Amino acid sequence: MRFPALRMRRMRRDAFSRALMREHSLQVTDLIMVAFVIEGEARCVAVPSMPSVARLSIDKLLELAGECVHLGIPALALFPVPEQKAKSDDAREAWQPDNLLHRAVHVLKARYPQLGLIGDVALDPYTTHGQDGLIDAGGEVMNDPTVEALVKMALAQAAAGIDMVAPSDMMDGRIGCIREALEKTGYPDTRILAYSAKYASVFYGPFRNAVGSAANLGSGGKYSYQMDVANSDEALREVELDLAEGADVVMVKPALSCLDVLRRVKDRFGTPTFVYQVSGEYAMLKAAAQQGFMDEKAMVLEALTACKRAGADAILSYYALDVARWLHEG
């Protein structure tokens, strides 16, 4: 069929036919809220590089969790911001049973057992140098000793009641080691969300400010473990390995600059695939909105709908609460 019998604009003409032929739609159940946790009580400490995002003490986090539950957001990804004195060269605070994250998990689970909790597994909040792993005398991030530490961290999170551990560190072999340890230690149901295709991206800058790893990291990059932005075949190899090692869900990160990778991963493997709209994406959208350059709601909904179209089953986003409210408004 060709023009004029075929007129593509016919179906676009009215809202009803646009709705009927819509291929993808963003739902509240696609969203995972992201939150930063700090010590203290009744504290909301703003993140300057992420306007409207705050680091919350556990009591305030509980309020945010309540909003997630109320709005129907299925899960919350937690990032602790430990105090400087909790940081060390060996990151041992990461597996202390009563550390900040684990205390938060106890409180959240007691109140909202239905809310899925996702724990970040990487050493950067706990290391004095801000790297995701343990370093040798020359500053090199050591793979195998780091994996041992990550296993301890994942087990401690599972013991604290985390539903899903999310290794975001990009060490080789960590998914297999964590899976094996979870099985052996009596946590066969703890899910693993693998940050499989995690790029060495400038878009993590505001996050590093939020968790306080930026200053510690200094000029040290993460190029020896996070992926080169120029590659996508490599992402498929990473995903394949993580799935073989026992990941339940794989993730691509960042989102908007990696939608092609997301589509390739989903097409190739057909497994649950999440995407992370990272801090820098949030900051860009927020800044443009604050300047009045574009409409915030329209921008964010377009960006997240594009993630769905590219194959995401769920999206981690600092905008999740706002988006859930917008979706409920209709």
Beta bridge mates, 81: none
Please give the DSSP secondary-structure letter assigned to residue 204: G
What is the distance between the alpha carbons of residues 109 and 88, in angstroms, rounded to a whole number?
28
Q: Which stretch binds ligand PBG (CB under 6 A): 110-118, 120-128, 184-192, 299-307?
A: 120-128
Binding to ligand PBG in span 72-91, by CB under 6 A: none
- The answer to whether residue 124 forms part of the interface with ligand PBG (CB under 6 A) is yes
| One residue of 207, 225, 274, 319 binding ligand PBG per CB under 6 A | 207
**Binding-site residue total for ligand PBG (CB under 6 A)?**
12
For residue 182, the SS3 value is helix
Identify whether the C-beta of residue 251 lies closer than 8 Å to the C-beta of residue 299: no
User: From its phi and psi, is residue 173 left (phi > 0), alpha (psi between -120 and 50) or beta?
Assistant: left
For residue 144, the SS3 value is helix
What is the distance between the alpha carbons of residues 137 and 4, in angstroms, rounded to a whole number?
72
- The answer to whether residue 122 forms part of the interface with ligand PBG (CB under 6 A) is yes
What is the distance between the alpha carbons of residues 234 and 165, in angstroms, rounded to a whole number?
23
- The answer to whether residue 30 forms part of the interface with ligand PBG (CB under 6 A) is no
Q: Which stretch binds ligand PBG (CB under 6 A): 67-75, 91-99, 141-149, 201-209?
A: 201-209
Smallest distance, ligand PBG to C-beta of residue 207, A: 3
| One residue of 99, 190, 196, 279 binding ligand PBG per CB under 6 A | 279
- The contact mask relative to ligand PBG for 161-200 (x = CB under 6 A, - = no) is -------xx-------------------------------
Q: Where are the alpha helices (DSSP H) in 161-251?
A: 174-185, 205-211, 214-217, 233-245
> Residues with catalytic annotation?
198, 253
Give the binding site for ligand PBG (CB under 6 A). Answer: 120, 122, 124, 132, 168-169, 204, 207-208, 222, 278-279
